[in-house]
């Protein structure tokens, strides 16, 4: 029978009998909508990684994420209202006192119980409590707390049942015989997705944190990443932060997120493969320095892109920065972030805060007529689980770095068309700007 044709020649979707992926998707949505419960953590309705058969790129489709409430545009401080007056917002689910509006904490930083409660002032007077008993959380004067994301990227928090990997699915693509196998390949989106509220105060940015707050935030990151590594189900766990709506934040109150991913993401894998090649070459040449040591040495010699350096860390704007004023904090030693001792962690925490403050000052200096605060992302480019550089001679190329991306430009036609980012501020100019504000 002849297919009905619409005016413009488009065949109505119902008559296209090979489009099984569309119907599979709809069935799954109906099923999950019926079974969704009203517990504190709502299931994402639909979550799967999909392979673009032409480009080989993966996309995570996470339906349900767009249901999350947003208040980033609200509460922009009028210039005559002091910050302290905005430290608590009765409508904010992340402010201390409003804990019942979020899922119960899986971990939090709070004064040790043997101290005088809220009177603790030094970081060593605090403890990270990881507990399955949550009743005490609202009563404790927490400084940072972690809980499951109500609107997760992933539909399940646990390992997926199938054994497909990004690599195996991509490989099977080339030998696929049916059009469904050829064009519609996916893997279910499983993993862990946590929110880490890193200050009890209704702040926006790390630059507003006290020493104590930023140190405790980094201690909770370390603790949650360690828990994710020890869990054993995740190949790659990392922390990231979105500040401001143009950087993807839906809540104004400062917070970070942690995801435990069952597979090493393609970006991280590509970097590992490149650095492995470098390591092999280095060994055959008998060179002393590992990739990161050699790169940092070269940057310190060149100076033009270095913002600051200590014995332990270098802050610099990478040579091929994808975004304007992209800044990285790279350690000058091997070792997993999860294994940092307290003194290293405290130094890193203060350095991260100082770097963000310099970026904010730099933005005001470069764009004096723009009164908006700087939106930015922070990403921990972490070491995949099981590849802790200090434990394995062969893999000593991996090193955890903190990447900070000010949201100053959007991906536009050229970037989308070519897959190449256009950066209107050279890293040399960016570093000069930051050295002046650091």
Interface residues with Zn ion (CB under 5 A) are: 89, 92, 94-95, 202, 253
> What φ, ψ does residue 241 adopt, rounded to 5°?
-135, 130
- For 326, the token pair is 């992209």
- For the CB of residue 252, give the shortest distance to Zn ion in the complex, in Å: 7
- For the CB of residue 144, give the shortest distance to Zn ion in the complex, in Å: 13
The answer for residues whose C-beta is within 8 angstroms of residue 401's C-beta and 6 or more apart is 328, 329, 330, 331, 380, 381
- For 81, the token pair is 């209202």
Strand, helix or coil at 32? helix
Q: How far, in Å, CA of 72 to CA of 253, rounded? A: 8
Residue 55 or 90: the one with the smaller Cβ distance to Zn ion is 90
Q: In the chain, count of helices (H) and strands (E)?
A: 9, 14
- For the CB of residue 405, give the shortest distance to Zn ion in the complex, in Å: 24
- For the CB of residue 244, give the shortest distance to Zn ion in the complex, in Å: 15
Neighbours of 304 (CB within 10 A): 14
Which H or E run includes 215?
helix 211-231
Q: How far is CA 192 from the centre of its chain?
A: 12
Residue 88 or 319: the one with the smaller Cβ distance to Zn ion is 88
Give the residue at shortest CB distance from Zn ion. Answer: 92
- For the CB of residue 139, give the shortest distance to Zn ion in the complex, in Å: 19
Residue 89 or 130: the one with the smaller Cβ distance to Zn ion is 89
Residue 192 or 253: the one with the smaller Cβ distance to Zn ion is 253
- For the CB of residue 87, give the shortest distance to Zn ion in the complex, in Å: 8
Residue 249 or 315: the one with the smaller Cβ distance to Zn ion is 249
Q: How far, in Å, CA of 408 to CA of 169, rounded? A: 36
Residue 94 or 292: the one with the smaller Cβ distance to Zn ion is 94
Residue 71 or 304: the one with the smaller Cβ distance to Zn ion is 71
- For the CB of residue 255, give the shortest distance to Zn ion in the complex, in Å: 9
| Distance set, CA 380 to CA 67, 225, 232 (Å) | 26, 11, 20
Token pair 């040399």 is at which residue? Answer: 428
Alpha-carbon Rg for the chain, nearest whole angstrom, is 24
């Amino acid at each position: 029978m002849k297919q009905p044709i619409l005016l413009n020649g488009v065949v109505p979707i119902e008559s296209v009998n090979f489009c099984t992926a569309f119907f599979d998707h709809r069935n799954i949505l109906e099923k999950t909508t019926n079974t969704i419960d009203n517990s504190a953590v709502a299931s994402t309705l639909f979550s799967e990684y999909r392979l673009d058969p032409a480009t080989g790129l993966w996309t995570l489709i996470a339906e349900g994420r767009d249901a999350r409430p947003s208040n980033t545009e609200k509460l922009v401080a009028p210039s005559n209202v002091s910050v302290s007056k905005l430290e608590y917002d009765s409508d904010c689910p992340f402010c201390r006192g409003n804990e019942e509006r979020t899922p119960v904490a899986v971990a939090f930083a709070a004064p040790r119980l043997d101290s005088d409660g809220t009177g603790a002032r030094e970081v060593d007077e605090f403890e990270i409590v990881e507990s399955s008993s949550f009743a005490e959380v609202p009563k404790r004067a927490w400084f940072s707390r972690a809980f499951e994301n109500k609107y997760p990227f992933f539909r399940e928090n646990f390992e997926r049942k199938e054994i497909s990997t990004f690599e195996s699915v991509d490989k099977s693509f080339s030998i696929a015989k049916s059009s469904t196998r050829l064009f519609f390949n996916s893997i279910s989106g499983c993993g862990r997705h946590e929110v880490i509220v890193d200050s009890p105060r209704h702040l926006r940015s790390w630059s507003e944190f006290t020493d104590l707050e930023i140190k405790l935030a980094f201690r909770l990151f370390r603790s949650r990443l360690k828990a994710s590594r020890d869990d054993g189900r995740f190949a790659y766990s990392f922390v990231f932060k979105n500040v401001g709506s143009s950087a993807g934040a839906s809540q104004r109150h400062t917070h970070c997120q942690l995801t435990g991913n069952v597979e090493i993401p393609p970006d991280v894998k590509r970097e590992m493969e490149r650095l492995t090649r470098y390591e092999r070459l280095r060994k055959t040449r008998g060179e002393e320095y590992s990739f990161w040591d050699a790169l940092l040495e070269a940057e310190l010699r060149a100076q033009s892109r270095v913002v600051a350096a200590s014995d332990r860390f270098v802050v610099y704007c990478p040579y091929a920065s994808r975004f304007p004023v992209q800044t990285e904090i790279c350690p000058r030693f091997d070792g997993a972030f999860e294994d940092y001792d307290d003194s290293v962690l405290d130094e890193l925490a203060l350095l991260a805060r100082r770097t963000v403050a310099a970026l904010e000052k730099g933005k005001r200096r470069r764009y004096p007529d723009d009164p908006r605060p700087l939106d930015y992302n922070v990403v921990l480019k972490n070491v995949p689980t099981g590849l802790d550089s200090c434990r394995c001679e062969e893999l000593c190329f991996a090193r955890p770095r903190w990447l900070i991306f000010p949201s100053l430009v959007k991906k536009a036609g050229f970037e989308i068309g070519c897959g190449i980012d256009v950066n209107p501020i050279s890293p040399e100019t960016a570093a000069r700007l930051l050295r002046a504000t650091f």
